[in-house]
């Protein structure tokens, strides 16, 4: 495994938020961090980008504890759930600024402008953008950085169906480039469409993980069972998976 999270616990204000978290991620794989709001997904990602430090345990990338990696050598890029930007800079200036910081990245500003249809928004400041366009800018800025590991916190929020389709293809292309990708989402139907592995998180604990086939085998479920049915069965809510209709997600 290229990324390993080992025995991680984290408490905030004396409340344990993450309980003994262990998982690994391979290069060239997309892992879905699945769970409802409040499950601990965002907290896990904040630990992985060093915004916070675990109370105990380790997060290893390659052979290095992330807290021993210097900022200029950080192999992680991050798409936040809450947009982060410079209010006084335009879209164009944001893109040029990040590109200047990471000139070694072969991805060009022009290619991202085309990919995310940002051309008509280049002279706007971020606060003037729609939610979907602002999210596209956050994705583009993350992809301009030099990275081996992409972490994304609910990256599909605000994207319309066409934008969602394009971003899924972007993720699949990054997978072909051997990137290690972790996507936090509560949209199980969406995750099932592009993730290779899943980590089911509930109340700060991992209740199951693996490929869908591995999870189905461990849980003794039939191959037609959806991720939604698996998750509801794991947390003990709803009817048994065999009697639950597959949910169709509409956006």
pLDDT of 244: 30
Q: What is the pLDDT of residue 189?
A: 87
CATH code linked to domain 1-75+149-167+179-251 = 3.40.50.300
The CB density around residue 231, as the number of other CB atoms within 10 Å, is 24
Joined tokens for residue 193: 């469409």
The pLDDT of residue 246 is: 40
Give pLDDT, residue 242. 36
pLDDT the model gives residue 247: 38
pTM of full prediction above 0.85: yes
* Residue 131, C-beta contacts closer than 8 angstroms, at least 6 positions apart: 157, 158
Q: What local confidence, expressed as pLDDT, does residue 245 receive?
A: 33
Burial class (CB in 10 A: 0-12, 13-18, 19+), 157: middle
Distance between CA atoms of residues 195 and 118, nearest Å: 27
| Domain boundaries along the sequence of the chain | 1-75+149-167+179-251, 83-147
CA terminus-to-terminus distance, the chain:
35
What per-residue confidence (pLDDT) applies to 41?
97
How high is the pLDDT of residue 240? 39
User: How high is the mean pLDDT in each 10-residue block of the chain (251 residues)?
Assistant: 97 95 98 94 98 97 96 95 96 98 96 96 98 97 97 95 93 97 93 95 97 96 93 74 37 39
């Amino acid at each position: 495994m290229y990324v390993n999270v080992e025995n991680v616990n984290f408490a905030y204000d004396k409340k344990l938020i993450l309980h003994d978290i262990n998982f690994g991620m391979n290069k060239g794989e997309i892992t879905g961090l699945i769970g409802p709001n409040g499950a601990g997904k965002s907290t896990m990602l904040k630990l992985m980008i060093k915004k916070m430090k675990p109370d105990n345990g380790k997060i290893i990338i390659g052979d290095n504890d992330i807290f021993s990696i210097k900022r200029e050598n950080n192999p992680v890029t991050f798409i936040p759930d809450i947009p982060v930007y410079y209010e006084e800079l335009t879209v164009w200036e944001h893109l040029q600024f990040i590109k200047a910081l990471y000139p070694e990245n072969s991805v060009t500003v022009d290619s991202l402008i085309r990919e995310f249809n940002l051309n008509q928004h280049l002279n706007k400041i971020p606060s003037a953008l729609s939610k979907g366009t602002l999210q596209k800018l956050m994705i583009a800025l993350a992809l301009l950085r030099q990275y081996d590991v992409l972490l994304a916190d609910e990256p599909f929020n605000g994207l319309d169906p066409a934008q969602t389709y394009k971003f899924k293809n972007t993720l699949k292309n990054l997978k072909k480039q051997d990137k290690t990708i972790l996507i936090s989402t509560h949209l199980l139907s969406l995750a099932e469409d592009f993730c290779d592995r899943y980590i089911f998180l509930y109340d700060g604990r991992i209740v199951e993980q693996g490929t869908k086939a591995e999870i189905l085998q461990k849980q003794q479920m039939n191959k037609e069972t959806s991720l939604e049915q698996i998750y509801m069965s794991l947390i003990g809510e709803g009817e048994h998976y065999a009697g639950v209709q597959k949910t169709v997600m509409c956006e």
